[in-house]
Structure 1
Amino acid sequence: MLIGTLFALAAGLMWGLVFVGPLLLADYPAVMLSFGRYLAFGLIALPLAWFDRAALRQLSRADWLEALKLSLVGNVIYYLCLSAAIQRAGGPLPTMIIGTLPVVIAICANLRAGSQGVASERLPWARLAPSLGLIALGIALVNRTELAQLQADPHADLARYALGALLAIGGVICWTWYPLRNADWLRAHADRSPRTWATAQGLTTLPLAVIGYAGTWLFFSATDAPWAMPLGPRPLPYLGLMFAIGLFASWLGTLCWNEASQRLPPHLAGQLIVFETLSALSYAYLLRGEWPAPATLAGVALLIGGVMWALRVKPEPPAIAEPAPH
C-alpha cells in the first residue's frame, strides 16, 4: 500500500507538468502541443523498446490493440482536450474540472465493482463518502479565489470559457475511462512489467502522433494558416518542452502509475490522482511567483486529508453464508 501510494505521488508530480506546457507555449495551438508531446513520447520509447524487446515480443495482438486504445483515449485525445481547455479558459477552470477526477474515478470504480460483483474491490459507500467529501470540498476551496477573479473580470469571454469548460469535461471522460481500463489489464497480467506496458503504450502512440502531426501540417498548408511549420515560431523552447514532458510526464509518469495500479485497488488509485491536481497548482503558483490564498491552502489541506482518509478505508470481507440445516 505504501509503495503503491509513493508511486502514485511520483506520477502526480510528473503529470502536473502537463498543465504548465499550454501556459508556457500559449501561442501554440493545442494540436501542436498534443501531437508534439506524444511524438516525443514515441521517439523516447523507441530506444527503450530495444532493451525491453524480449518482453514486448510476449505481448499478444490483443495486448497491442489494448495499448493502442489506451494511447488514443488516455494520451492523445485527453491532452488535446486539456491543452485546448487551458488555452481557452486559462489554468484555474480546467484545473478545477480535471481536479474532480479523484471523485469521479472513485465513484465509477465502486459502481463498477458493485455491478460486477467484485466484493474484494467494493467499498461501502458510508466509509467511502467522508474521503470523497473532503476531496470535493478541497477542490472547491482551491479554486474559489480563481473563480471569483474570473467572475469579476468585465472583459471575460464567457463563450470561450464555456468552450474551455466543455473541453475539460471531455478530458475528464477520457481520463475516467483510461485508469480503470489500464488497471484492468495490469491486474490481469500481474506477471508483466509495468515498464514494458508503459513502453508499449509509447510505441502505439507514435504512429498516432505522426499521423496527427502530418495531418496538422497539411491542414495548415491547405488553409494558408499563418504558422511556421514544422516547429512553430519558437523551435527550441517547443522542442525542449515537448521532450521534457514526453520523458517525465508521459513515459516516467505512466511507468509510476502502472506500478501504483498493480499495487492498489482502482477506487483508491483513482483518489490518488489528486496528487496531479496539487502538483499542477504548485507549479502554477511558482510560475506566477505568488503565495496561495488562505482558502487555497485550506483546500490543499482538505485534499491531503481526504487522501489520508482513503488510505485507511478497506473493503469489507464478503459475508460467508451459513450452511443450510439438513
Structure 2
Amino acid sequence: MLSGILFALAAGLMWGLVFVGPLMLPEYPAALHTFGRYLAFGVIALPLAWFDRAELRRLTRADWLAALRLAAIGNVLYYLFLASAIQRAGGALPTMIIGTLPVVIAVSANVLHQQRDGRLPWRQLTPALGLILLGIACVNHVEWQALVQNPQADKQRYIVGALLALGAVACWTWYPLKNADWLRSHPDRNPRVWATAQGLATLPLSLLGYGVFWLWQAQSGSAFPMPLGPQPLAFVGLMLAIGLFASWLGTLCWNAASQRLPTALAGQLIVFETLAALAYAFALRGHWPEPLTLAGMALLVVGVIAGVRVKPVRG
C-alpha cells in the first residue's frame, strides 16, 4: 500500500510538469509547446516499439487508425488547448478545471455507459460536484480580483483561457472513454503495447504539426525564430524533460501504483497531479496562494475524493 501511494505521488509530481511548461517559456506559442512535447514523446516511444515489435505487428489498419484518433485528440489537441489556456489565464484556474477530470469522466460514463458499467446515483454525486464547483469558484474569484486590480490585465484573454481549459477537459473526457472501449473490445491485447502504439501515432502528427506551424510562421512574416525559438537549449531540454518524465515515466509510475492499490483509492490519488501543478505554478509566481485559493484547492480535493468514492449500481 505504501509503495503504491509513493508511486502515485511520483506520477503526480511528474504529471504536474505539463502545467508549468508553458509558463516557464511564455514567449513560445502553445503550438510549439504541444508539438515539441509530443515529438519528444514519439522519439522516446521508438525504442519501446522495438521491444514490442512482435505485438505491434498484430495491430490491424483499423487499430492504427483508432490509435491515431486517440493520439490526435487525447494528446495533441488536449495539450494544445491546455497550453493555450495556461498562457492566457495563468496556471491556477486551468489546473483547477483540469482537476475535475476524475469526476467529469465518471459523470460522462454514467450517462453513456450505464448498461455496461453500472449507474452512479446522482443523489450521491451531487454533493461532490457542488464542492468541486465551489472550489473552482473560490480560485476564480481570487484570480479575477487580481485582474481587476491590474489596469494592464487583459480580462478577455483570461476568459478565453478558461474556455480553452474547458476544451481540454472535453478532449480528455472523450479520450479515456474511447480508449477503454478499445481495450474492452480487444481483451487479448497488451495495454502497454497499445500505449506504445499511441506514442508512435503521435510522432507523425507532431512532425506534421511542427512543419505546418513553421510554414505558417514563415508565410505570416513572424519574427519568431524557427525552428527552436529564442532559447533553443532551454526549449529542447524542457520538451525532452516533459516527454520523458511526464509522458513516459509518469505513466510508468502510475501503472505501478495501479497494480498495488485498489482502483477506488488510485482514482482519488490523481489529485496529486493537480496539487503538484498548483504548487509549481505558485512557486514560479514566487508567493504563497491566497487563503481563499487554498480553500478552493481543499474543496476541489475533497470533492474529487468524494466523487470517485461513489460506487456504481447495477440494474
Q: Which amino acid aligns with 1:149?
A: A
Deviation at 1:250, TM superposition (A): 1.8
Q: Distance in 2 between matches of 1:107 and 1:261?
A: 21
The answer to whether the 8 A contact 1:20-1:283 is kept is yes
* Structure 1 outlier segments of 4+, above 4 Å: 1-11, 254-265, 267-273
Give yes or no for the alignment of 1:43 onto 2:40: no
The answer to whether the 8 A contact 2:147-2:154 is kept is no
Q: Could you give the per-residue CA deviations for residues 111-144 of structure 1, whole angstroms, max 9, x where no partner exists?
A: 1123xx22x4322112222333333333333444
Aligned to 2:95: 95
Paired residues in the alignment total 314
Q: Which amino acid aligns with 1:102?
A: P
Q: Distance in 2 between matches of 1:101 and 1:219?
A: 33
Deviation at 1:35, TM superposition (A): 0.7
Give yes or no for the alignment of 1:69 onto 2:69: yes
Deviation at 1:315, TM superposition (A): 2.2
Distance 1:308 1:164, change over 3 A: closer
Aligned to 1:160: 157
Could you say which structure has the larger radius of gyration? 1
Aligned to 1:123: 120
Q: Distance in 2 between matches of 1:245 and 1:151?
A: 33
2:16 match: secondary structure: helix
Distance 1:188 1:269, change over 3 A: farther
Q: Distance in 1 between matches of 2:187 and 2:146?
A: 48
Give yes or no for the alignment of 1:211 onto 2:225: no
Aligned to 1:195: 192
Aligned to 2:144: 147
The answer to whether the 8 A contact 1:272-1:307 is kept is no
2:172 equivalent among 162, 170, 175: 175
The answer to whether the 8 A contact 2:96-2:300 is kept is no
Q: Could you give the per-residue CA deviations for residues 163-197 of structure 1, whole angstroms, max 9, x where no partner exists?
A: 32332222122111112112222333444333222
1:291 match: secondary structure: coil
Which segments of 5 or more consecutive residues in structure 2 lack a partner in the other structure? Answer: none
Q: Could you give the per-residue CA deviations for residues 137-158 of structure 1, whole angstroms, max 9, x where no partner exists?
A: 3333344422321233222212
Deviation at 1:75, TM superposition (A): 0.8
Aligned to 1:239: 236
1:20 match: secondary structure: helix
Q: Distance in 1 between matches of 2:141 and 2:4?
A: 31
Q: Which deviates more from structure 2 when the two are superposed, residues 51-60 or residues 97-106?
A: 97-106
Q: Could you give the per-residue CA deviations for residues 275-316 of structure 1, whole angstroms, max 9, x where no partner exists?
A: 432221011122233223322333333333334434543223
Q: Could you give the per-residue CA deviations for residues 199-222 of structure 1, whole angstroms, max 9, x where no partner exists?
A: 111100000011111111112222
Q: Which deviates more from structure 2 when the two are superposed, residues 279-288 or residues 141-150?
A: 141-150
Distance 1:158 1:297, change over 3 A: closer
Which segments of 5 or more consecutive residues in structure 1 lack a partner in the other structure? Answer: 319-326
Q: Which amino acid aligns with 1:164?
A: G
The answer to whether the 8 A contact 1:11-1:253 is kept is yes
Percent of pairs with identical residues: 67
Deviation at 1:255, TM superposition (A): 4.8
Q: Distance in 2 between matches of 1:3 and 1:316?
A: 31
Matches within 5 A, 1:98-117: 98-114=98-114, 117=115
Q: Distance in 1 between matches of 2:84 and 2:11?
A: 22
Q: Which amino acid aligns with 1:296?
A: T
1:292 match: secondary structure: coil
Q: Which amino acid aligns with 2:278?
A: L
Aligned to 1:132: 129
Q: Which amino acid aligns with 2:193?
A: T
Distance 1:7 1:106, change over 3 A: farther
Aligned to 1:224: 221
Q: Which amino acid aligns with 2:110?
A: N
Aligned to 2:86: 86
2:302 equivalent among 280, 296, 305: 305
Q: Which amino acid aligns with 2:200?
A: L
Distance 1:92 1:78, change over 3 A: same
Q: Distance in 2 between matches of 1:271 and 1:179?
A: 16
Distance 1:208 1:166, change over 3 A: same
1:27 match: secondary structure: coil
Q: Which amino acid aligns with 1:131?
A: A
Q: Which amino acid aligns with 2:25?
A: L
Distance 1:135 1:163, change over 3 A: closer
TM-score (norm 2): 0.86
Aligned to 1:322: none
Give yes or no for the alignment of 1:286 onto 2:291: no
2:273 equivalent among 242, 251, 276: 276
The answer to whether the 8 A contact 1:103-1:135 is kept is no
Q: Distance in 2 between matches of 1:142 and 1:6?
A: 28
